Amino acid sequence: MRFLRSCGAPARHDIYAGIHKGLRAFMADTLLRVGRLDADDSQAVTEALAAIDALLDLCLSHLAHEDAVIHPAMEACQAGASRPAAEHHEDHVHAIGRLRLLCDTLRHAPRPDRAEVAQRLYRLLGCFVGENLLHMHLEEIDHNDCLWRHYGDAELQALEGRIVASLSPAEMAVGLRWMVPAMAPAERLALLAPLSAKLPAHVFDGLMTVVRPHLSASDLVRLEEGLRQAA
């Protein structure tokens, strides 16, 4: 795996940057939540299991979109280019199954056993997060290298558009909830200003309702000022 991208190259459209920042944030937040979980607190256990469930749903839908849209585009230009990541995806599906089983074990564990099961879940989730961090890095370096050599930015934006168009409103809301707060201010504006221009006002306001509680006061002021100027 390469860890450095050459400097000085013109900026290109990065199909992975935003969603991967969101996934990193969601994974880190959920791992910390499970680590500090009081296994005797039934409400906290229920909430932690719901967070893991939502994270795993997002991971599954994300890898399915990559398999369906991005990998065929890569294979069309460079046979085998997506194979390592596709194999990772198969491993991730199995890991998600194991995590869901362990979540069920915690959900139904008698109270004296819960702390030990929660600890096992924390460690297994940590392994899953670690593998995903390395996997996302591979995609951001090796896949972008392939995509940028064979496709223009408009074509990459069209691929991304196919994925976005396939999202349910609920998937869109979960994705934005984690992506937007995890982004740099300029990235937030670049993502949201076109949506503000394109979507009916009540739909965009609904998305902002999901995002707003997770931004700091200063980040929110900056974003709303940027959206006003872009309108």
Residue nearest to Fe ion (CB): 66
Q: Is 160 in the site for Fe ion (CB under 5 A)?
A: no
Tell me the closest approach of the beta carbon of residue 64 to Fe ion, in angstroms.
Answer: 10
Tell me the closest approach of the beta carbon of residue 162 to Fe ion, in angstroms.
Answer: 16
Q: Rule CB under 5 A: which of 121-150 touch Fe ion?
A: none
Place of tokens 């890898």: 63
Task: Pick the closer one to Fe ion by CB: 35 or 84.
Answer: 84
Task: Pick the closer one to Fe ion by CB: 65 or 114.
Answer: 65
Task: Pick the closer one to Fe ion by CB: 87 or 113.
Answer: 87
Number of neighbouring beta carbons within 10 Å of residue 119: 14
Contact 117, 40 (CB under 8 A): no
Tell me, by CB under 5 A, how many residues bind Fe ion: 1
Q: Is 66 in the site for Fe ion (CB under 5 A)?
A: yes
Stretch of 16-24, 65-73, 97-105, 170-178 contacting Fe ion, by CB under 5 A? 65-73
Tell me the closest approach of the beta carbon of residue 66 to Fe ion, in angstroms.
Answer: 5
Q: How far is CA 158 from CA 141, 180, 193, 212, in A?
A: 20, 21, 18, 28
Residues 6+ apart with CB under 8 A from 24: 133, 136, 182
Stretch of 66-74, 111-119, 157-165, 209-217 contacting Fe ion, by CB under 5 A? 66-74
Distance, CA of 133 to CA of 191 (rounded, Å): 23
Which residue pairs from 61-64 have beta carbons closer than 8 angstroms and sit at least 24 positions apart in sequence?
61/167, 61/171, 62/19, 62/23, 63/89, 63/92, 63/93
Distance, CA of 22 to CA of 86 (rounded, Å): 21
Task: Pick the closer one to Fe ion by CB: 66 or 160.
Answer: 66
Task: Pick the closer one to Fe ion by CB: 37 or 55.
Answer: 55
Tell me the closest approach of the beta carbon of residue 88 to Fe ion, in angstroms.
Answer: 7
What is the C-alpha end-to-end distance of the chain, expressed in Å?
Answer: 42
Task: Using CB under 5 A, list all residues that contact Fe ion.
Answer: 66
